[in-house]
Amino acid sequence: MFHGSGLFALLLMVLEWTRPGLSSPLRPICDLRVLDHFIKEAWDAEAAMRACKDACSIATNFTAPLTRVDFDVWEAMNIEEQAQEVQSGLHVLNETISSLQASNQTDVLQSHIDASISNIASIRQVLRSLSIPEYVPPASGGEDKEMQNVSSISELFQVHINFLRGKVRLLLANAPVCHQGVS
Ligand SMILES: *[C@@H]1O[C@H](CO)[C@@H](O)[C@H](O)[C@H]1NC(C)=O
Ligand SMILES: *[C@@H]1O[C@H](CO)[C@@H](O)[C@H](O)[C@H]1NC(C)=O
Ligand SMILES: *[C@@H]1O[C@H](CO)[C@@H](O)[C@H](O)[C@H]1NC(C)=O
Ligand SMILES: *[C@@H]1O[C@H](CO)[C@@H](O)[C@H](O)[C@H]1NC(C)=O
């Protein structure tokens, strides 16, 4: 089924799972249009942040994941390593974007910030549905090499988009559970 309504039903199911107290996904979400929907929302958030001048120009150091993908390196990694890179990147994005909730932005920006946080939670559920290993915090003191500092809110949201379009998409597209015969 490639109808918009099929996609809508999938999205509803993913959103349902992220409500507190509800159980985990029962079937794998292999449809990349679900991720594309979240990427589109990330574009909307980025556009709003870019349009916002003063309130968003707080000079600060945001921690964000590195987004550049070196395909040779990526393909040489096993699924656990790829998963760890994606999960730790999502973890950091969630922490950083969550920290913006306290920054007294306008209602419009707040709603994009809230939407971004719930999208990250939804993507986590999609990964869980594909049996992708969960986030494991690095051993204490260990610095994560796959991180960078960004200095503005709009740059942070650009990183968010690029991370979803790059590493997250690659991981989802190659999830083993989606390539075991017909589903
Ligand atoms: C952010 O970090 C960089 C490098 O660590 C530093 O040069 C810069 O002064 C910092 N900026 C702010 C606003 O803290
Ligand atoms: C938050 O922003 C509003 C309007 O931009 C302003 O009136 C209010 O004083 C701000 N609150 C804080 C705690 O900075
Ligand atoms: C995102 O961060 C917030 C605040 O730190 C936390 O409460 C929430 O559980 C995190 N969500 C995910 C999906 O990690
Ligand atoms: C980011 O900034 C912090 C504090 O300003 C610094 O300690 C850290 O080394 C920076 N990280 C990178 C990857 O530049």
CATH at residue 93: 1.20.1250.10
Look up residue 21 and give its DSSP letter: T
| Residue 183: inside a domain | no
> Domain of 87?
4-178
The number of residues making up the chain comes to 183
Ligand nearest to the CA of 66: 4
| Residue 12: inside a domain | yes
pTM, two decimal places: 0.84
| Residue 11: inside a domain | yes
**Comparing 19 with 150, which gets the higher pLDDT?**
150
Q: What is the pLDDT of residue 34?
A: 93
pLDDT above 80: residue 19: no
Nearest-atom number in ligand 1 for the CA of 61 is 1
The structural domain count of the chain equals 1
- Residue from 90, 92, 98 whose mutation best tests the ligand 3 pocket (most atoms within 8 A of CB): 98
pLDDT in tens, 126-136: 999 899 999 98
Residue-averaged pLDDT of the chain: 86
Q: What is the pLDDT of residue 2?
A: 46
Q: What is the DSSP string of 51-103?
A: H--GGG-----EEEE-----HHHHHHS-HHHHHHHHHHHHHHHHHHHHHGGGS
Which value, to the nearest 10 degrees, does the dihedral of the CA atoms of residues 158, 163, 169, 171 take? 180
| Residue 68: inside a domain | yes
- Residue from 57, 151, 155 whose mutation best tests the ligand 1 pocket (most atoms within 8 A of CB): 151
Residue with structure tokens 């309504």?
5
| Residue 78: inside a domain | yes
